[in-house]
Amino acid sequence: MIVLFDGFAFGMLLFVLSVGLSVTLGLMNFVNLAHGAFGMLGGYVALVTTRELGLPFLLGLPAAFVAAAVVGIACERTFFRRLYRAGELNQVLFTIGLVFVASAVAAYVFGTGQQPIQLPDYLRGSVEVAGVRLGAYRLFLVIVALVVTALLVVGLEHTSFGARVRAAVDNQRMAQGLGIDVDTVFAITFALGCGLAGLGGALAIEIVGLDPTFGFHVLVYVLIVVAVGGLGSIGGSFAAAALLGIGDVAGKYFVPEIGSFLIYLLMIGILFFRPLGLFGRR
């Protein structure tokens, strides 16, 4: 039971980290391997706001979101928009280059060591729910993830902005003809994806730690979630993240000998039978 919950909480962390990529990669078809770097940025921003500026942790999270989103827009305006048509390989390489640079900058500014984050008291310890003691922070993770999911589903599927995004992605010229400002829509969508990465990065410090290799470290998990879930499907990412999180934690708990590669086996198996992912539509 506790394994199930811990796995689910880990899965929810993966979900928050990866859903932004699902937005940029799935909706905009931009292979953004720098996603983890935006997560790292969010992590460091949360660290600075809470430790250096002394702001509460709950303010650090939105700060991480905003900072990553702003940097995301800046990158999109200057570089990424030139690469939309450049083919996946060039996108992969450019963004990997970005991760290299970001990681070196982080090492320069913050040093190569692990950076711990100070959690407020109410997020430490554990809470008893229905007779089971659950880690307070993990419960918090689950709640944040559920809120994010609800906001995203409503925002992308039930608002006019969401409709504009999907129109701009499906047929740029047609969307332009209808008077949609495709440039702005893309910029905002990209910012949303990067901001979510930043939020995920800030949340991840407590569980996986934060150091300059964060961008690479997290990338693999994030890509697995997106690929298994199916591109552009928020529900798919949610299901995949939960499944992989539980699988990973349970594997490490019950069969430690093969626990570390169970997650890859799962992914390969799923992609072999469903190359588009569990909920892939295209």
Partner 1 sequence: MAETVIPDDGPQRWLRRQSRWTAWEAAFWVAAFIPFFFFPTYLTLASQIAITALFAVSVDLILGYAGVITLGHAMFFGLGAYCAGLLTKAGWGEPLSGLLLSGTFAALIGFIVSFLIVRVHHLALIMITLGLGLLTLELANAMSWLTGGTDGLQGVDVWPVFGAFEFDLWGYTAYSYALAVLFLGVVVSRRIVHSSFGLSLRGIRENLGRMPAIGSPYRLRLQTIYTISAGIAGIAGALLTQTTETVSLDTLSFQRSADVVVMLILGGTGRLYGGIVGAIIFLVARDQLADMNPQYWYFWIGLLLMAVVLLMPKGILGGLASVAGRLRR
The binding site for partner 1 (CB under 8 A) comprises: 25, 31, 79, 82-83, 86, 88-90, 92-94, 96-105, 107-108, 112, 216, 220, 223-224, 226-227, 231, 257-258, 260-261, 264-265, 267-268, 271-272, 275-277
Q: Across the chain, where does the E strand assignment appear?
A: 126-129, 132-135
Phi/psi at 17 (nearest 5 deg)?
Answer: -65, -35
**What string of DSSP letters covers 196-240?**
HHHHHHHHHHHHH---TTHHHHHHHHHHHHHHHH-TT-HHHHHHH
Q: How far is the CB of 91 from partner 1 (least distance, A)?
A: 8
Measured from the CB atom, is 56 or 97 closer to partner 1? 97
As a whole number of angstroms, the distance between CA 94 and CA 33 comes to 9
Q: How far is the CB of 220 from partner 1 (least distance, A)?
A: 7
Q: Is the dihedral of CA 271, 272, 278, 282 positive or negative?
A: positive
Measured from the CB atom, is 161 or 261 closer to partner 1? 261
Work out the number of other CB atoms within 10 angstroms of the CB of residue 242: 21
As a whole number of angstroms, the distance between CA 4 and CA 242 comes to 10
Q: How far is the CB of 44 from partner 1 (least distance, A)?
A: 16
Measured from the CB atom, is 1 or 273 closer to partner 1? 273
Amino acid 81 reads R
Q: How far is the CB of 97 from partner 1 (least distance, A)?
A: 3
Do 46 and 202 contact (CB within 8 A), yes or no? yes
Q: How far is the CB of 102 from partner 1 (least distance, A)?
A: 8
